[in-house]
Structure 1
């Protein structure tokens, strides 16, 4: 039964001890396969340029607001502007084996008063895409948001025609919440925006599934998964064997 006020009207769950959440900080988030570092244009530009240049074409930028970057100075200028920005707050994915920057993502649309934040501007190079590190990078940022910053809601939004992004959101445990029609004009075209989110009450199951999926026992000698991430969420107490 919903909570009722003195007039018998249903109202939302009381948050008697709520306070505004802190802003994301310039910290390093360390994982087994990768780490997230706050953007440093001077340090990361060359690595990122080389990583993005490894793509066969520009299709990875079709649904992005920025890019592609065919010249080094274009990317450097973009990163320099982004580095001074607090929202979005960008983090660079560093591969732990090569110690090279291989992609980036950001915390954005930061609403600290309501504890709502979005992950976006996900630009993973071919060196990072579809790797264990790519999933771990998302996990590191999720864990930071829910367990250190203590936000209540974590959002994912994308072009409604961007099938890979929509699939990634569902795989990671986000729930589809609907489509905002004609929400954005970008790159000279109209965009309907698909909304996904997870909340703090969802996090324990999502966290345990990601931890179990990332466990080395969940992969064979060829690095292939034994159980999928969606399977892990259905059986969160189980450990891969």
Structure 2
């Protein structure tokens, strides 16, 4: 049994973390699933396909809660992708549909803190062809597996505008726990953002991992590709 830490008054404080040495920085390598490949961004390979995929939602609604506007031209979108790809704070990934070999979304591992074992998933933007699909869920699962199983991170974060109902619902569906809202956290696009914080911890991961695997099993889908049980049902 772990020996608790003792304060100056002889009282136990904190929860011991034995033999903690930190984590490695995530590698820039592919994560291959059954339906998608999550691959570090390659501007030459991905920019045109991602731009075209985003333009299928012509109203720009996919960018409402992102920090950038919907891009009107490939050059400006490519420049933004390059700026994120050059960042040391984020590793931007392209989500590639294995059936079509097309880039259909992006997501980043970001705010990476190997010393304390915390990491965030963000900059998520799914084209309509990826939203509400098995592949879209699998992409999130693959990123979680990298953080927890491959690298041993202790905390995996999700943050969004508190008014972004679809993002909040997605976080809950994936198994994140709501931790609270930072009021007046940011100003973007000329408006206030209260930021909702969610997380998964290493202690919670085994049950969440098992739920993902059970949900993605072919037995959970009928001949029309409809789920028999919801992802969250497997955690109950």
Q: TM-score, normalised by structure 1?
A: 0.94
1:124, 1:87 → 2: CA distance? Answer: 21
Cα distance, 1:149 vs. partner? 1.1
The residue number in structure 1 matching 2:208 is 206
Can you list the C-alpha shifts for 1:129-164, whole angstroms capped at 9, x where unaligned? 011100000000000000011100000000000000
The residue number in structure 1 matching 2:92 is 90
The residue number in structure 1 matching 2:68 is 66
Total equivalences in the alignment: 233
The residue number in structure 1 matching 2:34 is 32
Q: Secondary structure at the match of 2:71?
A: coil
Do 2:158 and 2:171's aligned partners in 1 also have CA atoms closer than 8 Å?
yes
Do 2:5 and 2:16's aligned partners in 1 also have CA atoms closer than 8 Å?
no
Q: TM-score, normalised by structure 2?
A: 0.96
Can you list the C-alpha shifts for 1:7-49, whole angstroms capped at 9, x where unaligned? 3323111223111211111100000000101011111001101
Cα distance, 1:67 vs. partner? 3.1
Question: Where does the alignment leave 5 or more consecutive residues of structure 2 unmatched?
Answer: none
Question: Where does the alignment leave 5 or more consecutive residues of structure 1 unmatched?
Answer: 235-241
RMSD over aligned CA atoms reads: 1.2
Alignment of 1:83-232 (within 5 A): 83-232=85-234
Name whichever of 15-24 and 197-206 sits farther off: 15-24
1:127, 1:4 → 2: CA distance? Answer: 51
Q: Which stretches of structure 1, 4 residues or more, deviate above 3 A after TM superposition?
A: none
Q: Secondary structure at the match of 1:130?
A: coil
